[in-house]
Amino acid sequence: MSSLTDQNAWKKLTSHYASIQSKHLREFFDSDNQRGQKFSLDACGIFLDYSKNRITGETIDLLLDLARESKLPERIEAMMTGEKINITEDRAVLHTALRAPRDAEIIVDGENIVPEVHAVLDKMSSFCDSITSGDWTGHTGKPIRNIVNVGIGGSDLGPVMAYEALKHYANRDLTFRFVSNVDGTDFVEATADLNADETLFIIASKTFTTQETMTNAHSAREWLLKNLGADQSAVAKHFVALSTNADEVSKFGIDTDNMFGFWDWVGGRYSMDSAIGLSTMLAIGPDGFREMLAGFREMDEHYRTAPLEKNLPVLLGLLTVWYTDFFGAQTTAVLPYDQYLKRFPAYLQQLTMESNGKSITLSGDHVDYDTSPIYWGEPGTNGQHSFYQLIHQGTHLIPCDFIAFAKSLNPIGDHHDKLTANVFAQGEALAMGKTRQQVLDEGTPEELAPHRVFEGNRPSNTLLIEKLTPAVLGKLVALYEHSVFTQGVIWQVNPFDQWGVELGKVLAKKIVPELQSSDQLQHDSSTNQLIERYRNLK
């Protein structure tokens, strides 16, 4: 494949950008009173209005040409049929198999992996039933009331996001805590008010070697044994593991019968619907979890089969490429107007940036274009009283994804209409702005007018969905997973490795003993100085 910037569609997009970059969204809407309808799509129960983007029909046609020239449909097929598209780790990429129906067949290294997927799901379901029924008891015979998920990155962000997102559907008899940071405060605060004899630790780690998780897991074991005054045998009743590494799990002292496995073809940030979702399943029950998986599956099928121009993840992904590479946008804001989705932006940060935060292509060349934007966000309306000022009047172009729901899960008074009015208002204000004439017509003094002008022409997508359910959460996550893949294909990077996290990990391991000794240091003068000062102050 030719380098991205040599592609025909890319070249055409470059000159097309020059012809429309100064056009205002006001002009686009004024010249076509059906623009809203023309640039919206209703699929999988998600209504995407993308008309408030700085695009014309030609932009979309050219972006779709770019997708075809980049062989996006073939790449989707390659991913979903188990080709080893994670070439730097020689692995298939099959998070979509985690939600495949029981009778599906997906072959990896000559074996159909779907029965294994369902065997783990069935084992998770039985385990959840034994916890909620009280059949599973702790070391002193008491039922489990507290679930502490210990993990980090993909072994934490998905579980904690899903727990928060689906709290409305959660079993309130169980208390859930999530410990991720190696900062001891995280563990101490998470467990401070828990009774050890009613607490189950889920040690979630694909590799079972991650420094943060293993440190927290060892502290959890010490905490448990200290509080129960018990011997090692108590561990079996209070610890389960979610991992691909049975050897390390058993070395830690967890019976592999109490291990829920997954596979190297599931990336950490794509694993919330694997065994890593055990805490989610405990919270919403096996049926709720399967409902979530069905939502994922619906989006997978849509991504695989819908024509590119009617394909939600394809459109979202291509729009991100459009702003990143042609408008030079550095960031994308994700703004869910639902308090339950408060951790969704944090979850998306790993999904998007650990996937496409790359600068080397699949053929080993340095890119000569920008790749992943920085994703960030907060739930509405809180963000409005914080950083929206910059989105409206600052110097950066920040494409926004607004996520809104027609029905509240907690309908009280007119809260929900007010919430929804705000999300619609923000999209409108960003796009249309307010002209100097409008400002003056309101009686604003001349000298203040420039401060009160809103340029507008700031793009956004609005996703409007009936209500937040487990299935909808599955669809939303899969939508962004596949949008990320779409972007990665265009940028010709591997979205499924994360070599960029290694160097810091290795250096931290080297520095730990240096903090605990007075040995001679051999870092740069800055790092040496910081270590020495820490040694003196600690």
| Residues annotated as part of the active site | 354, 385, 505
Q: Closer to ligand F6P at the Cβ: 154 or 286?
A: 154
- Least CB distance from residue 275 to ligand F6P, whole Å? 11
Q: Closer to ligand F6P at the Cβ: 252 or 337?
A: 252
SS3 492: coil
For 422, the token pair is: 């705000």
Residue 187: Cβ within 10 Å count: 22
The whole-angstrom separation of Cα 223 and Cα 113 is 38
CA-to-CA dists, residue 403 to 60, 264, 422, 427, angstroms: 22, 32, 12, 11
Which residues make Cβ contacts (< 8 Å) with residue 525, sequence separation at least 6?
none
- Walk across the sheet containing 239-243 and list its strands: 175-179, 146-150, 199-204, 239-243, 259-261
Indicate whether 269 belongs to the interface with ligand F6P (CB under 6 A): yes
Give how far the C-alpha of residue 12 lies from the chain's centroid of Cα atoms, to the nearest Å.
32
Indicate whether 154 belongs to the interface with ligand F6P (CB under 6 A): yes
The whole-angstrom separation of Cα 282 and Cα 172 is 11
Interface with ligand F6P: number of residues (CB under 6 A): 14
The whole-angstrom separation of Cα 28 and Cα 26 is 5
- What is the helix (H) or strand (E) element at residue 237, kind and residue range? helix 235-238
Cis amide bond preceding 88, omega within 30 = no
Q: Closer to ligand F6P at the Cβ: 120 or 404?
A: 120
- Least CB distance from residue 284 to ligand F6P, whole Å? 22
- Choose which of 82, 138, 153, 427 interacts with ligand F6P (CB under 6 A): 153
- Choose which of 125, 130, 207, 393 interacts with ligand F6P (CB under 6 A): 207
- Choose which of 59, 70, 191, 205 interacts with ligand F6P (CB under 6 A): 205
Q: Closer to ligand F6P at the Cβ: 53 or 245?
A: 245
Which residues make Cβ contacts (< 8 Å) with residue 450, sequence separation at least 6?
436
**Which residues in the 278-307 window bind ligand F6P by CB under 6 A?**
none
Q: Where are the beta strands (DSSP E) in 24-92?
A: 40-43, 46-49
**Which residues in the 133-152 window bind ligand F6P by CB under 6 A?**
152
- Choose which of 56, 216, 320, 498 interacts with ligand F6P (CB under 6 A): 498
- Chain residue whose CB lies nearest ligand F6P: 268
- Which range of residues in 184-192, 199-207, 224-232, 468-476 is near ligand F6P by CB under 6 A? 199-207
CB 83 within 8 A of CB 92: yes
The whole-angstrom separation of Cα 311 and Cα 217 is 42
**Which residues in the 328-387 window bind ligand F6P by CB under 6 A?**
354
Q: Closer to ligand F6P at the Cβ: 213 or 324?
A: 213
CB 148 within 8 A of CB 220: yes
- Choose which of 59, 180, 199, 210 interacts with ligand F6P (CB under 6 A): 210
Indicate whether 261 belongs to the interface with ligand F6P (CB under 6 A): no
- Which range of residues in 88-96, 175-183, 202-210, 373-381 is near ligand F6P by CB under 6 A? 202-210
- Which range of residues in 159-167, 200-208, 429-437, 525-533 is near ligand F6P by CB under 6 A? 200-208
CB 99 within 8 A of CB 474: yes
Q: Closer to ligand F6P at the Cβ: 158 or 456?
A: 158
- Choose which of 86, 155, 361, 461 interacts with ligand F6P (CB under 6 A): 155
For 278, the token pair is: 């055990």
SS3 453: coil
- What is the helix (H) or strand (E) element at residue 254, kind and residue range? none
- Least CB distance from residue 481 to ligand F6P, whole Å? 14
Q: Closer to ligand F6P at the Cβ: 146 or 210?
A: 210
SS3 335: strand
Neighbour-count burial of 321, counting CB atoms closer than 10 A to its CB (0-12 exposed, 13-18 middle, 19+ buried): buried
- Choose which of 501, 507, 512, 515 interacts with ligand F6P (CB under 6 A): 501
**Per-residue contact flags (x/-) with ligand F6P for residues 2 to 41, judged by CB under 6 A:** ----------------------------------------
- Least CB distance from residue 272 to ligand F6P, whole Å? 10
- Choose which of 51, 70, 199, 213 interacts with ligand F6P (CB under 6 A): 213
- Least CB distance from residue 154 to ligand F6P, whole Å? 3
CB 372 within 8 A of CB 488: no
For 482, the token pair is: 């596949």
Contact positions vs ligand F6P (CB under 6 A): 152-155, 205-207, 210, 213, 268-269, 354, 498, 501
